[in-house]
Structure 1
């Protein structure tokens, strides 16, 4: 049994135990509850053409899934960022010593959804930004909350938004999200792409990730779309 099979099997057994105890009655019992937060006080003006943005917030399956269901996002690819190309693979990244985080590269149309809105979704329903080097059952620097920026305006927007949310005391603890310069993004293995859509009944997905989709639909109804923008479909059109 390889590393990913072992990890997901252990989580599946945990979820099965929860089911047996009768706790797991609805997707609302997520590992992280959604936060109702204000939008950024400032945003970046729309620009022509598609834009890309890379962020990390725990296992990339759920992060990718949320943005695939977000209007204006044309593609969301699971991958690795923060380390070298030579260690940009799942086996190495799971060791937690490569510098990589499980990340998602988001391609979006800024005339349909702003970067500020994508960040609001990130800090609200994608993950718990107050957790340091972990999300839910996943621990290690590879699951850190990080925004990778390659543009000064993007970096300022993220910095100002974090300061705004901390100042408003939206969360019980300070935000642990870090900002890192984007040195490179490396797409993950094919079996990680569109994972949430392809495995909706897997206990890990049911317990940790489907509630994120439900929260997106409930809290950001105007930004939610039922049909996800899948990586395989984007590849087919290119």
Structure 2
């Protein structure tokens, strides 16, 4: 059984993972649950992990994945678990019957590096390609990938050297993490927000200031839908 706060937090994490492809920050979780400190969030996260609903990934900043959901939230005892069968050298009679799971992947162009800090020149050339799981991509949309440079989005779980998967689009909702083209020549990865007729490009790191620009100086070039990290 989950407490109301535990259920609220699990639902919030699940919603943000589906929307942004990255988990919310502890500050965002604290604000969403109207708690006074992040220590309460730590206790809720630990409780959800102990009950097998989430898993914290080692050596990754604030990385959380949903393992399963309660049945009344669309999950079940095995929600989120999909076994993969790997061929081995043992006879088939020694193995239990199983159904292989097909994992679809798509090759996306990596369009160079995107600044998660001070903007860099607009990105236009393909440096290489990367294989991306099909379930990470939105249906009916074109996608590309970018390598992240800088640490201004670390509180959103996006680190220097990560590869972000971007859906091509020219519009964004408040709170979306977007690739923004600034004044036609600089590209940056930031959280998008409108305020009093201006566009705010917000970092997810208190060491970086929010940039506030006229609407005609900012063009959205895509929205973050996924992230790939190499070790």
Q: Normalising by structure 1, what TM-score?
A: 0.19
Structure with higher strand content: 2
Query: Which has the higher relative contact order, 1 or 2, with Cα contacts under 8 A spaced 6 or more apart?
Result: 1
Structure with higher helix content: 1
Higher-Rg structure is 2
